[in-house]
Amino acid sequence: MTTEEQFMARALELASRGLGAVSPNPLVGCVIVRDGKIIGEGWHQKHGKAHAEVNAVLDTGDESLVTGSDLYVTLEPCAHTGKTPPCADLLVRLKPRRVVIAHTDPNPLVSGKGIGKLTDAGIEVLNGVLESQARHLNRRFLRFMTDHRPYIILKWAQTADRLIARENLESKWISGTLSRALVHRWRAEEDAVLVGTRTAIHDNPLLTVRDWTGRNPVRIVVDRFLRLPQHLHLLDGAVRTIVYNVLRHEEKSHLLMVRLDENDFLSQLLGDLHRRDIQSVIVEGGAFTLQQFIDSGHWDEARIFESARTFGKGVNAPQLRGQKVDSARIGDDELSLWVPQRSTWHLVSR
């Protein structure tokens, strides 16, 4: 690994700390190096707050040290004013000797403009260091920006005989306690979690973060004909919840009824989530809803827990067409990770 790659790897490690806190912004880390030593580090910690470059400059304790330094950042510095001023302007003022970037920002408000500001100011720019790793880290943001839909993660637990529920549709406790805690961590890392009508009725899930520390995701339920009983946890108003249906549109503080046309329902749902700045969604069931995402091609990765237990009879697991790229033992369960066949996701280790 080259010196540039070593410092960029550190910047990527810092960037990952923002997962679950900065969406719909990208994950960004920054390292400032002078005379071969790191003098400042930072990452984007929370949406609406200071960006990675600003935090790294503050970490030096003396911004004059940035002049003549090498600055490593995992994404092209922003060139527009949003909730914070442009980071490219800050760097132009402080004049580092060189700015090393993992890859260009696909956001049309930034793409190429940040680099342009730096080069116009006489600052050397090196682009493309650990680019594939950086793109993998920001795969949610890139999907959101390029395809105008959220990044979709499918998740389910199945028995050794590939069932996800008993004949009475009972599906709880297929996986173990460690697996369930991991799912709560995932919920804290993503913007939203989605289930279908039957799962909402039969499991009455909370879809909140309880076995981990972090924010609750937005809860999403597909209830086309508004059949859900009002006593369900999903309708209790405790957490922001969106109910997608074909009958009524009504928006309250924490409960939104969003009406879509029956035709092309799923694509409309994803488009509406994009407009609401929801960058990633975990689809947690049931089988019918998961299969709809699979059959439409609207998915990016699948996380499947398999238990050693069997049911004998029950609801079959979804039929997944993709490639397995990783697996791990989680307590007594086997967790496998899948991506679509043409995905480049597997080219970079998790």
Q: Which of 81-85, 267-271, 310-314 shows the lowest per-residue confidence on average (mean pLDDT)?
A: 81-85
pLDDT at 344: 65
pLDDT at 342: 75
Span 100-120, average pLDDT:
90
Rounded Cα distance, 240 and 220, in Å: 9
Span 274-302, average pLDDT:
96
| Cα angle 204-208-211, degrees, rounded to a multiple of 5 | 110
Rounded Cα distance, 280 and 294, in Å: 16
Q: Which of 9-18, 85-94, 164-173, 239-248 shows the lowest per-residue confidence on average (mean pLDDT)?
A: 164-173
Q: Does domain 148-347 have CATH number 3.40.430.10?
A: yes
Which pLDDT band, with edges at 50, 70 and 90, does 85 fall under? confident
pLDDT at 289: 97
Q: How far is CA 228 from the centre of its chain?
A: 28
53 assigned to active site? yes
pLDDT at 345: 56
Is 12:130 a contact under the CB 8 Å cutoff? yes
Report pLDDT digits (tens) over 181-220.
Answer: 999 999 999 999 999 999 999 999 999 999 898 999 999 9
110 or 32, which is more confident: 32
Outline where 75-196 has alpha helix (H).
Answer: 87-94, 113-120, 131-137, 139-147, 177-189
Is 302:277 a contact under the CB 8 Å cutoff? no
pLDDT at 349: 43
Which pLDDT band, with edges at 50, 70 and 90, does 108 fall under? confident
pLDDT at 55: 97
Rounded Cα distance, 232 and 346, in Å: 39
Mean pLDDT for the chain overall: 93
Rounded Cα distance, 53 and 49, in Å: 12
CATH architecture of the domain 3-141 equals: 3-Layer(aba) Sandwich (3.40)
Span 137-144, average pLDDT:
96
Is 287:332 a contact under the CB 8 Å cutoff? no
The DSSP call for residue 346 is G
Element (H, E) at 4: helix 3-15
Q: Is the pLDDT of residue 161 over 80?
A: yes
Closest listed residue to residue 309, CA positions, set 158, 156, 179, 180: 158
Q: How many residues does the chain have?
A: 350
Q: Is the pLDDT of residue 265 over 70?
A: yes
Given strand 37-43, what is the order of strands in its sheet?
Answer: 37-43, 29-34, 70-73, 98-101, 124-127
72: three-class secondary structure by DSSP: strand
* Catalytic residue chosen out of the listed positions 5, 13, 53, 250: 53
- Give how far Cα 60 sits from Cα of 15, 135, 344, Å: 18, 27, 37
Report pLDDT digits (tens) over 295-328.
Answer: 999 999 999 999 999 988 999 999 998 999 999 9
Per-domain residue ranges of the chain: 3-141, 148-347
